[in-house]
């Protein structure tokens, strides 16, 4: 049975292009209150330290001191096997979303040694479709008619649900095969895309739309590392054979 620390230590909060350092500090405070210790920022340059530290308070300032800074989202999510994007926006290209509680309830199918990330977009616009493509699930906080939670509030609610579902309720995560990391999946998707281009499956006009649908379909399968390598190998062989026959 995984311990409380082993479960929570594998979960990271990732803030994508946050505009206000105060929100980063508030997110760190919420994360620490709920036992989470990994904070990742995707931004071109470091935010103002004092503003972050003030909101984090001295209790959670160590999360600010140890937070990771990445210039690209692809690099930030590379080691993670299960990525949850958060959004309040709807759209046919965004797939179906679930509540934070539903997301956590489904995590009992994940092995405890896989790295998990919760993604939050910038305050003014949230995550774009090009950022949500890395996500295996989409979380939307249920609200009444007015759905305008700020970044720090959204992080706090998700952190609470994580702690409540995985620790307070003592939900045991059963062993399962190692899930492919984002790095492995991105390599697989590139080979899938290249193979589909060769057979003219991807129309130029709807190229992105179809690839996003394919990503969502394969993402829901929670492919293991071995399975993603098998698919990648099939695509490589197909591309080689296609090149030989021309």
Residue-range domains of the chain with CATH:
4-168 (3.40.1280.10), 182-244 (1.10.8.590)
pTM of the model: 0.79
For residue 158, the Cα-to-chain-centroid distance in whole angstroms is 13
Neighbours of 98 (CB within 10 A): 16
- Is the pLDDT at 4 greater than 60, yes or no? no
Q: What is the pLDDT of residue 125?
A: 86
Please give the Cα distance from 184 to 75 (Å, whole number): 12
At 47-80, the pLDDT tens digits run 999 999 999 999 999 999 999 999 999 999 999 9
Buried b / exposed e along 74-87 (16+ C-beta atoms within 10 A): eebbbebbbbbbbb
Please give the Cα distance from 6 to 114 (Å, whole number): 11
């Amino acid at each position: 049975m995984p311990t409380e620390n082993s479960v929570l230590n594998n979960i990271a909060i990732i803030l994508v292009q946050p505009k206000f350092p105060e929100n980063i500090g508030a997110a760190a405070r919420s994360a620490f209150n709920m036992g989470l210790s990994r904070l990742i920022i995707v931004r071109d340059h470091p935010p103002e330290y004092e503003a972050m530290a003030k909101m984090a308070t001295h209790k959670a300032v160590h999360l600010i001191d140890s937070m990771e800074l990445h210039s690209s989202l692809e690099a930030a999510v590379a080691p993670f096997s299960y990525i949850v994007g958060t959004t309040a926006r709807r759209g046919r290209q965004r797939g179906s979303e679930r509540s934070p509680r539903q997301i956590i309830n489904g995590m009992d199918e994940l092995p405890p040694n896989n790295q998990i990330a919760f993604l939050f977009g910038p305050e003014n616009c949230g995550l774009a479709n090009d950022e949500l493509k890395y996500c295996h699930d989409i979380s939307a906080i249920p609200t009444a008619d007015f759905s305008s939670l700020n970044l720090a509030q959204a992080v706090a609610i998700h952190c609470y649900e994580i702690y409540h579902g995985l620790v307070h309720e003592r939900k045991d995560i059963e062993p399962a095969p190692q899930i492919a990391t984002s790095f492995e999946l991105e390599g697989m998707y590139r080979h899938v895309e290249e193979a589909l281009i060769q057979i003219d499956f991807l129309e130029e006009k709807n190229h992105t739309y179809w690839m996003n649908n394919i990503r969502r379909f394969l993402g829901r399968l929670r492919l293991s590392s071995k399975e993603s390598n098998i698919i990648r190998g099939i695509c490589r062989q197909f591309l080689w054979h296609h090149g030989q026959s021309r």
